[in-house]
């Protein structure tokens, strides 16, 4: 059940003694038959936790990252379930990030099959123009990330309009700010796209305001008014 899974995650974090960590629960089909129909195979679960640090680099949270629009498109919604966090979908992400790093960038941005902005290889994307925050909707083959939802909530509380709409590629180049969100990436600013400097070339004020609130809540320095946090009790206590 969902409750059993949640408790198993808490127990794993506590047993491993982490102060901060990344959590990866993995549900998969196990032994029985070899073929493309997995239904005869039992459902298995593993939970892994490890200390990770800043996913896109130690300085990225303040200085931002350099990214490129990928030649690899996000999968069409009638090919793979884009809203699902499934292992097979990550082949798409792997091709994107490997291409980006091969050309000297930290991360890649995928367009959808219609040419609109979709997401990064492991992050949702937000574009800030004239004090308004734009982000692709579900229909652009995005994974509706948990941190994406947090960022939308915090931005609205700060008084920023958040608009979920299709984003043409050229909006990236005229943006005042761009930032990524994700469980691993947290909230990371983008300082350039395809060599075009975004805003001042470092973290902008809107991104910083949302970052400050987000990190304040998850660190316990700001009250968790949304019930986002779950306490972890150390093993043996």
Closest CA to 189 of 167, 181, 135: 181
187 membership: H or E segment, kind and range = strand 186-193
Query: Considering 85, 101, 156, 158, which one is annotated as catalytic?
Result: 85
CA distance 34 to 184: 33
Range 183-215 burial, b when 16+ CB lie within 10 A, else e: bbbbbbbbbbbeeeebbeeebbebbbebbebbe
Q: Which residues contact 7 (CB under 8 A, 6 or more apart)?
A: none
* Residue 237: active-site member: no
CA distance 85 to 89: 7
Report the residue count for the chain.
237
Residue 25's DSSP bridge partners are: 47
Lookup: tokens for 210: 């949302």
Pairing mode, strands 107-111 and 65-69? parallel
CA distance 63 to 191: 7
Residue 8 CB neighbours (<10 A): 14
Active site residues: 85
């Amino acid at each position: 059940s969902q409750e059993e899974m949640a408790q198993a995650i808490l127990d794993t974090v506590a047993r491993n003694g982490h102060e901060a960590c990344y959590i990866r629960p993995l549900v998969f089909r196990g032994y029985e038959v070899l073929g493309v129909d997995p239904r005869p195979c039992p459902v298995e679960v593993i939970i892994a936790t490890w200390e990770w640090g800043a996913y896109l680099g130690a300085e990225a949270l303040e200085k931002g990252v350099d990214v490129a629009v990928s030649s690899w498109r996000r999968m069409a919604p009638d090919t793979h379930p884009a809203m699902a966090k499934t292992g097979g979908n990550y082949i798409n992400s792997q091709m994107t990030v490997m291409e980006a790093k091969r050309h000297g960038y930290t991360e890649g941005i995928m367009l959808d099959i219609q040419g609109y902005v979709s997401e990064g290889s492991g992050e949702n994307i937000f574009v800030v123009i004239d004090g308004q925050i734009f982000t692709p909707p579900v229909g652009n083959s995005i994974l509706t990330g948990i941190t994406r939802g947090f960022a939308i909530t915090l931005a609205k509380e700060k008084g920023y309009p958040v608009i979920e709409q299709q984003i043409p590629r050229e909006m990236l180049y005229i943006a005042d700010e761009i930032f990524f969100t994700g469980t691993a990436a947290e909230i990371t600013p983008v300082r350039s796209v395809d060599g075009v400097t975004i805003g001042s070339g470092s973290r902008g004020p809107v991104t910083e305001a949302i970052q400050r609130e987000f990190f304040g809540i998850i660190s316990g320095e700001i009250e968790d008014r949304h019930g986002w946090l779950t306490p972890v009790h150390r093993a043996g206590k």
